[in-house]
């Protein structure tokens, strides 16, 4: 006997603004809406059941931010930071504190991801389909998805055969105790150099698989004294002064490394070399970790403990390369077998398809993955033709190799507010950047990149498969902030319902 199908009607909710992503950029957008008195018209959606984005997810041992906390924070949201550089826990506490201060949970729809965003020209509305089947209609969508959410796992043969715990750095399994275990870590990027010193003292044996050494500079660690914390908490402007000073240093000193200033490059090499020499006694290991690439070409990293952790009898740095992963470990290119109990893939992310596997469908049914097939091209890193009223925070060409991405997201949130004000004036129901403005902007990005370190010849996650840098903004952050300070409607096509 056939049973009659039952249909459940899921109510469609309508909002003015849907923010997708509850990490730093989604929160920056929510706060910008709140300042303008429009947060009640918005919903913040996230697949996870907590705010925090990358700082909620990356809980690997040693996870921390190498941008000083007073700069790696939201502009008007001061905090009693315990340290100059903060660990994941302190940053996540900060995020949750900001969420509580502004009662952002009241506007949140957590625990269900968005699987589809589709534009309808007739109604000038986006329909967001959630993974649980609910639909939300929105006049405007702001995607703050985070560029580093799609993990890259190495395509080494045999990966699925490994019988012990194996996971990507961003999915660290808290139930796996590495104490007394033989652990392998593939990769030596920003995540790995934090994991290695954090676990080296617990494990029985650690093998770090390095493909390309990259520059690791020393940094000024500082736990604020009670008196310093009191001053920073109570003296008006003290936190702003620290933030401004750090910002000036990274913009005017660190940025020069990326701009290939010869003196800055020489200084970076000298600092990196000194960091190796003061931490590693073994000449062979010193040679193995010394990079040949131009500083900044792969992300400059900062650590005072990574190299020293490598220079221990129970820690090996392998540079031969893994030929195969077996049920019990790995086999190197020269045939050597290494037995492992736990395998960690600290092999990075794919920022070029940050919205995958979500379907984003714009005017005329065009899909974002086809629209951006060659490279992500967003006008001001924020909007793209044929996707009206759709905004990306930390979208294409908005990363920085020297400063805080929170500043970039905040500049974009202000820009979005300019667009919303225009729409609110009733002058149009939708807006999307013109092809001409977007192409000119993309050409400018490419032209400016020619003079910067990422074009100096090394491969990095900043470049897509065609070698196009569609991740980093090719200039100082202040330049990006300046150009986004005004919403330039003249660069936009507009339409009515």
Interface contacts to ligand NAP, rule CB under 6 A: 64-67, 148, 154, 156, 169, 186-192, 209, 211-212, 298-299, 346-349, 461
- Looking at the Cβ atoms of 299 and 449, the one nearer to ligand NAP is 299
Q: Which is nearer to ligand NAP, 57 or 414 (CB)?
A: 57
Output 306 or 387, the one with its CB closest to ligand NAP: 306
Q: How many CB atoms lie within 10 A of CB 245?
A: 12
User: Cβ-closest residue to ligand NAP?
Assistant: 189
Q: Which is nearer to ligand NAP, 32 or 217 (CB)?
A: 217
Q: How far is the CB of 136 from ligand NAP (least distance, A)?
A: 30
Cβ closest to ligand NAP, residue 13 vs residue 211: 211
Gap between the Cα atoms of 288 and 318, Å rounded: 9
Calculated CA dihedral for residues 446, 65, 356, 17, nearest 10 degrees: -90
Q: Minimum Å distance from CB 111 to ligand NAP?
A: 25
Q: How far is the CB of 385 from ligand NAP (least distance, A)?
A: 28
Closest to ligand NAP by CB, 243 vs 299, is 299
- Beta carbon of residue 71, minimum distance to ligand NAP (angstroms, whole number): 11
129 vs 326, which CB is nearer to ligand NAP?
A: 326
Q: Which is nearer to ligand NAP, 154 or 418 (CB)?
A: 154
The CB-of-83 to ligand NAP minimum distance in angstroms stands at 13
Minimum CB–partner distance for residue 154 and ligand NAP (Å):
3
In the complex, least distance from residue 141 CB atom to ligand NAP, rounded to whole angstroms = 25
Minimum distance from CB of 333 to ligand NAP (Å)? 11
């Amino acid at each position: 006997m056939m049973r009659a199908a039952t249909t459940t009607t899921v109510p469609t909710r309508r909002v003015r603004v849907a923010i997708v992503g509850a990490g730093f950029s989604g929160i920056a957008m929510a706060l910008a809406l709140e300042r303008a008195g429009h947060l009640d018209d918005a919903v913040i959606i996230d697949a996870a059941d907590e705010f925090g984005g990358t700082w909620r997810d990356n809980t690997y041992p040693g996870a921390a931010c190498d941008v000083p906390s007073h700069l790696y924070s939201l502009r008007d949201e001061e905090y009693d930071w315990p340290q100059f550089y903060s660990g994941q826990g302190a940053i996540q506490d900060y995020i949750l504190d900001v969420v509580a201060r502004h009662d952002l949970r009241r506007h949140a729809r957590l625990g269900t991801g968005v699987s589809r965003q589709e534009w309808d020209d007739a109604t000038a509305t986006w329909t967001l389909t959630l993974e649980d089947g609910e639909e939300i209609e929105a006049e405007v969508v702001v995607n703050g998805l985070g560029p580093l959410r799609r993990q890259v796992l190495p395509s080494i043969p045999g990966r699925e055969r490994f019988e012990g715990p194996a996971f990507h750095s961003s999915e660290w399994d808290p139930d796996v105790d590495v104490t007394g275990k033989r652990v392998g870590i593939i990769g030596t990027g920003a995540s790995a150099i934090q994991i290695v010193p954090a676990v080296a003292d617990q494990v029985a044996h650690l093998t770090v698989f390095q493909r390309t050494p990259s520059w690791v500079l020393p940094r000024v660690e500082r736990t604020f004294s009670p008196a310093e914390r009191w001053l920073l908490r109570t003296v008006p402007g003290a936190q702003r002064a620290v933030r401004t000073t750090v910002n000036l240093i990274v913009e005017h000193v660190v940025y020069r490394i990326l701009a290939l200033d010869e003196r800055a490059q020489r200084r970076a090499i000298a600092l990196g070399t000194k960091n190796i020499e003061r931490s590693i006694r073994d000449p062979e290991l010193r040679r193995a970790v010394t990079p040949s690439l131009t500083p900044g070409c792969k992300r400059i990293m900062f650590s005072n403990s990574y190299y020293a952790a490598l220079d221990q009898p129970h820690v090996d740095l392998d540079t031969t390369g893994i030929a195969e992963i077996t049920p019990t470990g790995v086999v190197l290119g020269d045939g050597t077998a290494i037995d492992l109990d736990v395998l960690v893939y600290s092999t990075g992310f794919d920022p070029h398809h940050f919205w995958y596997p979500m379907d984003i469908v714009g005017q005329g049914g065009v899909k974002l993955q086809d629209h951006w097939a060659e490279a992500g091209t967003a006008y001001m890193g924020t909007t793209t033709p044929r996707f009206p009223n759709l905004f990306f925070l930390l979208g294409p060409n908005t990363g920085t190799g020297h400063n805080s991405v929170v500043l970039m997201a905040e500049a974009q949130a202000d820009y979005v507010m300019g667009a919303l004000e225009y729409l609110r004036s009733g002058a149009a129901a939708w807006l999307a950047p013109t092809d001409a403005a977007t192409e000119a902007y993309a050409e400018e990005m490419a032209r400016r990149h020619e003079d910067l370190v990422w074009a100096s010849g090394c491969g990095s996650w900043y470049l897509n498969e065609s070698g196009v840098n569609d991740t980093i903004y090719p200039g100082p952050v202040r330049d990006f902030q300046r150009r986004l300070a005004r919403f330039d409607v003249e660069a936009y096509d507009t339409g009515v319902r």
